[in-house]
Amino acid sequence: MNRQVIVILHSPKLTCQSDRCHKLEAFAAVPTTATTTTTDIAWRSLLSRCRRRFKQTANDQRQQKQQQHRRDETSETSLVAVVRYLIPCSLAAKRLHPAADTPLNLGAERKLILRNTRISRHHMAPEIALHLITQECSIYHQPIGEDFCFRTEPFWGFFWPGGQALTRFILDNKQLFAGKRVLDVGCGCGASAIAARLIGANAATANDIDPTALQAALLNAELNSVDLEISSRNLIGQPCDDFDVVLIGDLFYDAEIASVLSPWLAQLAAKRKNIYIGDPGRHGLTEKRLWNMTQLARYRLPPDVCIENNGFSHASVWEFKSNS
């Protein structure tokens, strides 16, 4: 019979059931003129069985890998894991060292920030350069614990999706912020306050209860040639009469902080402060709380931001409405 059938299997087993069956390549060189014969049918059926098995095995392997990956991620204690999973656990960056409450050596802290970050514009507001902890930085992958170089968890080293959306919104809506006195509460890297200054806000105060965040915000302000005021006071609950606009970037991360933020923001809104909230859909921003807010913008997050942030795909900017 003028027929050539070649089946090449790069597989430990023809049936492809083995876990090690990564590659199966099967092809046949069959003359186009060939009429279908019993052998041909048998071969085709073998090939399609192999393909089906291969598909099934590949799917199983993918599922197993995903499950393993999820297990690894939840058990690892690297910085990135903490940032992804533990942020909802406390109102503030957790104290890592007994020394965390002693005054900062500002010069040393700034050097430490510069040594452990990269300048990045790889985010939704590339007009602003930021010192961030990126995947290229060794501490990104480092376990955190007593010998971790920062005294608190460096949330300021990441540009959070809510903050990214809020910062994008500020840059694209100058008229709302120009000439205003702006307060960025829980500023982290300070990007939203920097954006406000860049588009002509009269003054911007970066506020964070983590003093290292304020040094990072100042370094970022220098990098973008703007000036910022800083405040490390816990301002939640305070009257904040010196400000026209209050920015909240990714601060509704758990029920506890949301329960103190919401009534405070309601009081500020009653005093005609403009309040803008950037958030990717965190726990604390419940349906009920959203009743008090108007959605002003919704952004698709870049793919790597989605991966780093536990699967959030969009982030919105909301304005807190006054009830009075």
Positions in the binding site for ligand SAM (CB under 6 A): 87, 91-93, 155-156, 159-160, 162-163, 185-189, 207-210, 213, 234, 236, 249-251, 253
Beta-strand (E) ranges in the chain?
A: 118-120, 130-132, 181-185, 203-207, 229-231, 245-249, 274-279, 293-300, 314-320
Distance CA 267, CA 255 (A): 19
Q: What is the CA radius of gyration of the chain?
A: 27
Distance CA 239, CA 241 (A): 6
Number of Cβ within a 10 Å radius of residue 55: 12
Closer Cβ to ligand SAM, 213 or 293, answer by number: 213
Distance in Å, CB of 18 to ligand SAM, minimum? 45
Closer Cβ to ligand SAM, 50 or 305, answer by number: 305
Distance in Å, CB of 310 to ligand SAM, minimum? 12
Closer Cβ to ligand SAM, 185 or 228, answer by number: 185
Closer Cβ to ligand SAM, 156 or 243, answer by number: 156
Distance in Å, CB of 219 to ligand SAM, minimum? 15
Which residue's entry shows tokens 């698709």? 300
Closer Cβ to ligand SAM, 53 or 289, answer by number: 289
Contacts of 196-202 spanning 24+ positions with Cβ under 8 A: 196/170, 196/245, 196/247, 197/221, 197/226, 197/227, 197/228, 198/127, 198/128, 198/171, 198/224, 198/226, 199/170, 199/171, 199/174, 200/174, 201/177, 201/245
Closer Cβ to ligand SAM, 16 or 246, answer by number: 246
Distance in Å, CB of 210 to ligand SAM, minimum? 4
The residue at minimum Cβ distance from ligand SAM is 163
Closer Cβ to ligand SAM, 189 or 269, answer by number: 189
Which residue's entry shows tokens 């406390």? 90
Distance in Å, CB of 217 to ligand SAM, minimum? 9
Residue 101, amino acid: D
Classify 279 as helix, strand or coil.
strand
Distance in Å, CB of 164 to ligand SAM, minimum? 7
Distance in Å, CB of 253 to ligand SAM, minimum? 6
